[in-house]
Amino acid sequence: MRTSPLLTDLYELTMLAGYLQEGMADTPAVFDLYFRHNPFEGGYAIFAGLQPALESLEGLRFHETEIDYLRSLGLFKPVFLDFLRNFRFCGRVIAPPEGTVVFAHEPLLTVSGSLAETQLVETLLLNSINFQTLVATKAARICYAAGDAEVIEFGLRRAQGPDGGVSASRAACIGGARGTSNVLAGMQYDLPVRGTHAHSWVQSFDDELTAFRAYADAFPESTVLLVDTYDTLKSGVPNAITVARELKQHGHSLRGIRLDSGDLAYLSREARVMLDAAGFPEVRILASNEIDEAVITSIRDEGGRVDIYGVGTKLATASGLGGVALGGVYKLVAIDGQPKMKITSDLAKATLPGCKKVLRAVDEQGGFIQDLVCLEKEWPSGGDTVFDPTNPLRRTVLPNLVDLIDLRMVVMDGGHITMESESIETMARRCRDELALLPRGCRRFVNPHRYKVSISHQLTQLRGRLMQTAAAPKEAT
């Protein structure tokens, strides 16, 4: 699906026009995309949104109708509009694969090319990476809370528009959801599609049992019945058991029941007792209704017997503690071969200059110890002193006998995607495997352990020199 280059902020275009006028459009430049705070006040994030972003970059073209619209704004000169007619993204992108566990203050994407092309794609990249990384992280948290139970994404009707709904489904499945109710996302990304029926189905019939029988007759191999339209334990579950017996007589099985209101821990416990007593221990219990990781934790703590969680609003919108937006940023780190940095009194918001790589220190079992951001041409080793990027007075020593793994690879070169396409299942497996290697304290929801992301000695020195140069008094000319 084509992404219009007008899916951008106006200032990207005005800066691009200014660079062209100043003769700077072809100047080599490098930008880093990263975030400053882990989402949901948690201990990690799950990287997502890369493949759609790269596909957008590869196909980025201005159509004549879009150029006509820009002309109508009265802002841009004809020479700039002519420049846009031939615009192509021909740059290079370095990134980790989707599903990778990542952290604040480390570059996710590094984009290099001409100043014109690297500047123009800022909004497009942030739009894709910020939202999908946020949703994938939310999904990973929910799946962690769910334990052995499955999580299904049910959030389309509450998502941020059609594209937000499809993107949320994709990202949720990277983060661990086992399927989605979103049929379009299922088609586009080869995701398992799952669903039951609404209360309106039951209300459309004279009584609940008739409604259940009709649904089972229509879908005998995939019957899941919503049992809370009238009374869950006195009507819904008994009627579902009746239908389960009838299905069994015809060689079919009731797949499950869905609880969508009330005390889900209590109702799931009671429903489990009733189903087991009736001889249907295989019938699964699905719970929905404003669920997130906190609700799931509460249900499990209270002995709930839920097998599948259908999670909608709070997953598709990534709402919750510290949610709303990831807050990823896109900053210039080098121009014409010279390192650049944003200087600020708040060191946490100062950028890390120059071309860099991100290394992960792992132990003999592959467990994650810490991440290290260093200059592109250096390779630290055990015993080196490394520094907190937000406070250089906090330092530690890189442990001996660790393996250093480069987290990122070239995923686009010359404007063409170079990485092999991966299935969502592969990305989800990577997410699951990497979370298992993360220190357990980083996965908890309350006061998670702070995973160390450090910067190397050489990078610390470079940042210090640039800050001193910026602070030095300038001679009058």
* Residue 18 or 344, more confident: 18
- Per-residue pLDDT tens digits for 400-452: 888 999 999 999 999 999 999 999 999 999 999 999 999 999 999 999 999 99
Q: Tens digit of pLDDT for each residue in 74-110?
A: 999 999 999 999 999 999 999 999 999 999 999 999 9
- Look at residues 305, 334, 359 and tell me which one is the last residue of a structural domain: 305
Q: Is 22 helix (H, G, I), strand (E, B) or coil?
A: coil
> Among 110-114, 217-221, 397-401, where is mean pLDDT lowest?
397-401
Q: Do 264 and 353 fall into the same domain? A: no
On whether both 345 and 439 belong to a single domain, the answer is yes
Q: Which of 96-105, 139-148, 290-299, 344-353 is the least confident region?
A: 344-353
pLDDT > 80? residue 346: no
Residue 43 domain flag: yes
**Is the pLDDT score of 323 beyond 70?**
no
Residue 362: band (very low, low, confident or very high) from pLDDT cuts 50, 70, 90: very high
Same structural domain, 212 and 247: yes
Q: Is residue 188 assigned to a domain?
A: no
Q: How many CB atoms lie within 10 A of CB 323?
A: 18
Verify that 360 and 252 share a domain, yes or no. no
Say which CATH number the domain at 247 has.
Answer: 3.20.20.70
> To the nearest whole number, what is the mean pLDDT of the chain?
95
Q: How far apart are alpha carbons 157 and 165 in whole angstroms? A: 8
| Pair (289, 366) in one structural domain | no
Under a CB-based contact definition with an 8 Å cutoff, are residues 353 and 339 in contact?
A: yes
User: Is the domain of 290 the same as that of 330?
Assistant: no
In 3D, which of 6, 159, 161, 13 has the Cα closest to residue 75? 13
Tell me, yes or no, whether 413 and 349 share the same domain: yes
pLDDT tens for each residue of 254-272 = 999 999 999 999 999 999 9
Answer yes or no: do 211 and 93 share one domain: no
What residues make up the domain containing 273?
195-305
Q: Looking at the chain, how many residues does it have?
A: 477
Tell me whether residue 4 is in a domain. Answer: no
- Residue 109 belongs to domain with CATH number: 3.20.140.10
Residue 476 CA to its chain's centroid (Å)? 49
Q: Which of 255, 279, 305 is the last residue of a domain?
A: 305
Q: Are residues 359 and 240 in the same domain?
A: no
Residues 123 and 214 in one domain: no
Residue 142 lies inside a defined structural domain of this protein:
no
**pTM of the predicted structure, to 2 decimals:** 0.95
Residue 284 falls inside a structural domain: yes
pLDDT at 472: 72
Burial (CB count <10 Å: 0-12, 13-18, 19+), residue 28? middle
The dihedral over CA atoms of 387, 389, 390, 391, expressed in degrees to the nearest 10, equals 20
pLDDT one-digit tens code per residue, 192-209: 999 999 999 999 999 999
- Is the predicted pLDDT of residue 476 greater than 70, yes or no? no
- pLDDT score of 477 more than 60: no
Number of domains in the chain: 2
List Cα–Cα distances, 204 to 211, 226, 237, 242, 418, in angstroms: 8, 14, 19, 20, 53
Please report which confidence band the pLDDT of residue 341 belongs to, taking 50, 70 and 90 as the band edges.
very high
- Helices 122-146 & 161-174, crossing angle to 10 degrees? 50
Q: Is residue 471 predicted with pLDDT exceeding 80? A: no
- For residues 105 and 224, membership in a common domain is answered with no
Any domain includes 117: yes
Q: Give the confidence band of 474 by pLDDT, cuts at 50, 70, 90.
A: low
Angstrom distance (rounded) from CA 151 to CA 138: 12
241 and 110 co-located in one domain: no
